[in-house]
Amino acid sequence: MPGHDPLAEGVAALARRHALDQDAAARLTRLGDALRVARWAPTTVRDPQGIADRHLADSLAALDLPEVRAARTIADLGAGAGFPGLALAAALPETEVTCLDSAGRKAAFMADLAAAAGLANARAVAARAEEWRGGPVDLVTARALASLPVVLEYAAPLLRAGGVLVAWRGRRDPADEAQAALAAHDLGLGDAEVYRTAPFPAATDHHLHRYVKRGPTPGRFPRRPGMARKRPLGHSLSDRAER
């Protein structure tokens, strides 16, 4: 179809879906265009329809949660190519978004992408979640980062009291969720609330897991880099504390 632009059409639909103004739609379009033409990107999804669906729509699904719209500080962990962090920065211009990734090359890519999209409220930092000291923040986000217990251990020390973690997940995994429930107890987080999402027509088994920080995170967290993945919390009562 002459003049058919899946990215522009996708952004327009997202703006209507989430009640975003024209300025936000323009930022999202610039973000998608910058990703599309980048010489290198840490993602295989570079086609216009894929960008609209798998990066932008999937990221903005979290806007259905009131705490996401209300957040004034966000830390996006293991942000990779910049999603969901940069998409949320485009939609929420009054919110300060920090995109964290341990790989310097990915952080540099995200900084270039933010600059190309004109996202003055976004910054990229090359740092591990266990070592970053930029918190406390209102909201932590994580998409396709690690198992739930690992994500919880990364996120909890960064959240203010009452802050929220939102983790993007695919098909639900009862064992992973059960381990995460034990980990949440250790980390000062409440029970999970899980929301099924359908951000684009081909999306199946997409879920957002929401955790609220109910109490203080013990001072032994975060453990030293690598320990969360090596010895995830929640596997048994005996390994719920650092030894």
Over residues 118-144, the pLDDT tens digits come to 999 999 999 999 999 998 999 999 998
Residue 103 has pLDDT above 70, yes or no: yes
For residue 15, the one-letter residue type is A
pLDDT at 10: 97
- Is residue 117, in this structure, part of any structural domain at all? yes
- Is residue 209, in this structure, part of any structural domain at all? yes
- Is residue 202, in this structure, part of any structural domain at all? yes
Listing DSSP states for 115-136 in one string gives HHHT-TTEEEEE--TTT-----
What is d(CA 166, CA 135) in angstroms, rounded to the nearest whole number? 16
pLDDT per position as a tens digit, 7-49:
999 999 999 999 999 999 999 999 999 999 999 999 999 999 9
Question: Do the beta carbons of residue 46 and residue 36 sit within 8 Å?
Answer: yes
Domain count, the chain: 1
- What's the distance, Cα to Cα, between the start and end of the chain in Å? 62
- Is residue 231, in this structure, part of any structural domain at all? yes
HEC states along 20-57? CCHHHHHHHHHHHHHHHHCCCCCCCCCCHHHHHHHHHH
Tell me the average pLDDT across 179-204.
Answer: 96
Q: In 3D, which of 173, 160, 158, 159 has the Cα closest to residue 209?
A: 173
Tell me the average pLDDT across 192-218.
Answer: 96
H or E element: which one contains 162? Answer: strand 159-169
Question: Do the beta carbons of residue 27 and residue 119 sit within 8 Å?
Answer: yes
Domain hosting residue 107, numbered range: 6-239
- Is residue 174, in this structure, part of any structural domain at all? yes
Tell me the average pLDDT across 140-157.
Answer: 95
The mean-pLDDT minimum among 141-150, 190-199, 206-215, 233-242 falls in: 233-242
- Is residue 36, in this structure, part of any structural domain at all? yes
6 preceded by a cis bond (ω within 30 of 0)? no
- Is residue 126, in this structure, part of any structural domain at all? yes
pLDDT at 237: 43
* Count of C-beta atoms within a 10 Å radius of residue 199: 21
Query: In percent, how much of the chain has pLDDT > 70?
Result: 95
What is d(CA 228, CA 226) in angstroms, rounded to the nearest whole number? 6
- The residue among 4 and 227 whose pLDDT is bigger is 227
Could you tell me the strand order of the sheet in which 193-197 lies? 122-126, 96-101, 73-77, 137-143, 159-169, 206-212, 193-197
CATH number at residue 148: 3.40.50.150
pLDDT at 238: 39
Partners of residue 67 on adjacent β-strands = none
Query: Which token pair is 241?
Result: 């504390």
Residue 107: exposed, middle, or buried by beta-carbon count in 10 A (0-12, 13-18, 19+)? buried
Residue that is written with structure tokens 């980062």 in the block? 145
- Is residue 1, in this structure, part of any structural domain at all? no
